[in-house]
Amino acid sequence: MYLAIPKEDINNESRVAATPGTVKELISAGLDVYVETEAGSKSYISDKEYEDAGANIIGSGNEILSQADIIIKVLPPSVEQVSQIKPNAIVISLCQTTRELDIVKAMRDRSLTSLSMHLVPRTTLAQKMDALSSQANIAGYKAVLMAASKLSVYMPLLMTAAGTIRPAKVLILGAGVAGLQAIATAKRLGAHVEAFDVRPVVKEQVESLGAKFIEVDSSGDEGVGEGGYAKETSDDYKQRQQQLIHEHISKADVVITTALIPGKPAPILIPTSMVDAMKPGSIVMDLASENGGNCELTQKDEVIDHNGVTIDGTSNIPGTMPVHASELYAKNITALLTYMIKDGQLDLDLEDEIISGSMYTHNGEITHKQTKDTLTG
């Protein structure tokens, strides 16, 4: 089968869906691998490295799309690119299916079988395929470094001849994969770290990393949704949450927000009134900017100043570390693809939880319920 790895040419994406190491795995699984020329250039992978791994280099993006039986990408193909893909081909990417509805419809109308790495079930068997976690880890790490580079104060406690410098105060909102990595990185830099999450179950993880967990008194599982993800909370909880965050955010030098609800816009945790209460010189890194942002003032891919407070809405933070981001993503997508190959043949078992859970279009139909409901609702 012809497996295509096109060059990512949308939104200046720097990652790539395969590395020379994963190309070898894919060839061993029985696939003929074709890579568009310079597909890996922004991740510092040359065409020769792909060739040495056994891939064929193709000069035309149109040719590689039109010939492929399977296409693996970071970002989903554009609507125009979808029209070039032959019907019944398989496309795997990081498509946000409830937000990128034009692409979903184009995939359906082209009778493509489409799978999203965003939809891979959070199960033990699928851990190696969990691209959201691998990329969120990078985002949490890099967000702290980006904030530190913007700060006008030190991160760690310093004892100097001129006096003692207190450590910076860092507040993390959301203690999922990105939040926990942000906590660990901020602690390594010597900051005083606090973290909030609607899920009390993460308290032990937060405290094991040396941060203080701040929490709202609740029933214990109010913010815990399916698969361990956060879910929407009651209005009463939200009011008490706002009061708690306001109390701590006014003292913070850095705030890193990571709160997401699958399939829905990011919850607003920081209204403008809270930003007004922050210290001039403080930083907000909004890791939820792609889904609307956790801060009311966040503008996707913009860095703005509001009364001396910097709000950074960079959406593709993993893309600022393309070498490791590509390496990890390539391993995730290869794990999913090789899982679907049995005895050298692609086996689309629609009864399989991982395959059916990751799929959103097949045989001219939208197969993912939440995506379908979003489109029709």
Q: What are φ and ψ of residue 116, in 5° steps?
A: -115, 135
Burial, 289: exposed, middle or buried (Cβ in 10 Å; 0-12, 13-18, 19+)? buried
Catalytic member of 67, 78, 84, 133: 133
SS3 category, 63: helix
For the question of residue 127 being annotated catalytic, the response is: yes
Tokens of 374: 């979003």
Catalytic member of 122, 205, 240, 356: 122
Bridge partners, 212 (sequence order): 194
Catalytic member of 130, 253, 286, 312: 130
* Whole-number Å distance between alpha carbons of 322 and 333: 16
* Whole-number Å distance between alpha carbons of 182 and 205: 13
Yes or no: say if 2 and 32 are a contact pair by the CB < 8 Å rule: yes
* Whole-number Å distance between alpha carbons of 175 and 186: 13
Cα–Cα distances (Å) from 364 to 23, 68, 107, 109, 293, in that order, read 30, 18, 8, 6, 33
For the question of residue 229 being annotated catalytic, the response is: yes
Tokens of 133: 């976690």
Yes or no: say if 192 and 276 are a contact pair by the CB < 8 Å rule: no
* Whole-number Å distance between alpha carbons of 102 and 108: 10
* Whole-number Å distance between alpha carbons of 85 and 289: 31
Yes or no: say if 135 and 328 are a contact pair by the CB < 8 Å rule: yes
Catalytic member of 2, 154, 229, 237: 229
For the question of residue 14 being annotated catalytic, the response is: no
Tokens of 159: 């004892």
* Whole-number Å distance between alpha carbons of 24 and 18: 10
Catalytic member of 46, 127, 234, 273: 127
Q: Nearest CA to 114 among 338, 336, 351, 374?
A: 336
DSSP letters for 173-195: E--SHHHHHHHHHHHHTT-EEEE
For the question of residue 130 being annotated catalytic, the response is: yes
For the question of residue 343 being annotated catalytic, the response is: no
> What is the amino acid identity at position 157?
L
Neighbours of 60 (CB within 10 A): 11
Which positions are catalytic? 122, 127, 130, 133, 229
